Every structure is written in C-alpha cells, then in structure tokens.
Amino acid sequence: MTAEADLERALRARVKGEVRFDTATRAAYSTDASNYRQVPIAVVVPRSLDDVIATVAECRERDVPVLKRGGGTSLAGQTCNVAVIIDSSKHLRGLQL
Ligand SMILES: Cc1cc2nc3c(=O)[nH]c(=O)nc-3n(C[C@H](O)[C@H](O)[C@H](O)COP(=O)(O)OP(=O)(O)OC[C@H]3O[C@@H](n4cnc5c(N)ncnc54)[C@H](O)[C@@H]3O)c2cc1C
C-alpha cells in the first residue's frame, strides 16, 4: 500500500466529515485568491473539532503537513501548499472554545 493510500485509509476510518483525494478536488484547492498554485495531497472538510483532531493526529504520525483553510481569499498563497488542507468553511464557521 502506498503512503498516500495508507493516509487515505486512516483518514476515512476516523473522519466523519469529507475526505477527498480525487484530482478534481485537489485541482480546485490548488489556489486561493493569489497567483500561487500548489496541488494539495488531499482535502478534509471536517464536521466537528474531533475530525480536525483526528486529521492532525493521522498526519503528524506520518510527517504529512497540514494547512487550515477558511474562505480561501488570501492574496499571498497562504492556503496553497503540498499538504492536507483542512477546510473549515463548510461546517466549522463559528468559534469553538
Ligand atoms: C478582493 C479581495 C479583497 C481583500 N481585501 C482585504 C482587505 O481589505 N483587508 C485584508 O486584511 N485582507 C483583504 N483580503 C485578503 C483576505 O480576504 C483576508 O486575508 C481574509 O481575512 C482571509 O480570510 P479567509 O477566511 O479567506 O482565510 P484563508 O485565505 O482561507 O486563510 C488565511 C490564513 O488563515 C489560516 N486559517 C484559515 N482558517 C484557519 C483556522 N480555522 N485556524 C487556523 N488558521 C486558519 C490559513 O492557513 C491562512 O494562513 C482581500 C482578499 C480579496 C480576494
């Protein structure tokens, strides 16, 4: 099993939200409002804080970088990288203390 397939299997087992490794999603998340283009490893759309914790834990275990994303309106490529993008804009828009 490749490292990417292993990561996908682990994320799908623990994350209740969306886990996306498909090419179309990675292409869509390869940019923000800047000119930067970096194809991410995958995109996770968490449903809860537990999904974020699980994603970070699985990535940390494999030395895979993570990158948080909100609206993706950054102008200097802050949300573009070869990483697992965690997109909070769909379900985690409120402050959670
Ligand atoms: C047309 C236009 C006009 C703009 N005008 C302004 C302006 O007047 N003033 C201004 O300041 N900016 C402006 N911006 C830039 C941008 O909109 C702001 O920087 C905005 O705050 C980014 O919010 P976002 O949710 O899109 O963040 P994103 O672009 O998704 O992320 C911004 C940074 O925050 C981090 N991040 C996102 N979510 C989280 C999270 N949950 N936890 C931890 N880190 C997180 C990301 O990793 C990234 O580093 C403009 C952009 C555009 C396209």
pLDDT digits (tens, 9 = 90+) for 22-57: 999 999 999 999 999 999 999 999 999 999 999 999
The pLDDT of residue 1: 86
Residue 92 covered by a domain: no
Residue list, ligand 1 pocket, CB within 6 Å: 32-33, 67-75, 78-79, 88
Name every residue whose Cβ is closer than 8 Å to that of residue 79 and which is 6 or more positions away in sequence.
32, 67, 68, 69, 70, 72, 85
This prediction has a pTM of 0.94
Q: Kindly state whether residue 31 falls inside one of the protein's structural domains.
A: yes
CATH number at residue 56: 3.30.43.10
In a domain, 93, yes or no: no
pLDDT digits (tens, 9 = 90+) for 5-23: 999 999 999 999 999 999 9
Residue partners of 40: CB distance under 8 A and separation at least 6: 26, 29, 30, 67, 80, 81, 82, 83, 84, 85
Residue 32 has phi, psi (to 5 degrees) of -125, -145
pLDDT at 96: 63
* Closest ligand 1 atom, residue 70 Cα: 30
Query: How many domains does the structure of the chain reveal?
Result: 1
Q: What is the mean pLDDT of residues 66-94?
A: 96
What pLDDT, on a 0 to 100 scale, did the predictor assign at position 97? 63
Whether 97 is in a domain gets the answer no
